[in-house]
Structure 1
C-alpha cells in the first residue's frame, strides 16, 4: 500500500512537470515573449554601446597620461644631464687634461 502511494505521487510530479514544461514552451515561444526578448536584446546592445564609449574615453585618457609622463621624465633626464655637465665643467676648470 505504501508503494502504491509513492508511485502515484511520483507519477503526479512527472505529469505536472510535463504539463509545466509544455505550457512553458508555449509561453516562451509566443509573440509577446519574442517582443520581450527583442526589447531585452536592444537594451543589452545600448548598454554595450555605452560601455564601449566609456572604455574608449578611458583608453584615450590613459594614452594622454602616458605621453605626459614620458615628457616629464625626458625633461627631468635633460635637467639631470645638464646639471652633471655643469658639475663636471666646474671640477675640470683649472685642471690640465
Structure 2
C-alpha cells in the first residue's frame, strides 16, 4: 500500500524548494541582498567610528588622570621635604638652646 500523504509532502517540499531557489536567485532578490549588505557595511563603519571616538576619549582621560596623579605625588613629596626641613630646623634650634 502506498502512503500518498508522505509522497504528497515530499512533492510539495520539492516544488516549494525549487520555487524558493528561483525566487531567492531572482534579480530583485539580488538587488535586495545588495542593499542589505550595503546597509550592513554602513552600520559597521558607524560602529567603528564610534569605537574610535570612545577609545580616543578613554586615552585622553587616562593621560589626564596620570598627570593629576603625578602632580599630586610631586606635591606630597614637596610637603614631606618641607616637613623634614621644619623638623631639622626645630632640632637645630633645640640643640643651640641646650
Using structure 2 for the length normalisation, give the TM-score.
Answer: 0.88
Say yes or no: does 1:55 pair with 2:51. yes
Tell me the C-alpha RMSD between the 2 structures.
1.3
Segments of 4+ in structure 1 off by > 3 A?
Answer: none
**Consecutive unaligned residues in structure 1, runs of 5 or more:** none
Aligned-pair distance for 1:95?
3.0
Gaps of 5+ in 2: 93-98
- Structure 2 residue aligned with 1:75: 71
Q: What secondary structure sits across from 1:95 in the alignment? A: helix
Tell me whether 1:22 sits opposite 2:22 in the alignment. no
* Matching residue of 2:88: 92
What is the TM-score normalised by the length of structure 1?
0.89
CA shift, 1:88, in A, is 0.8
Give 3-state SS (helix, strand or coil) of 1:54's partner: helix
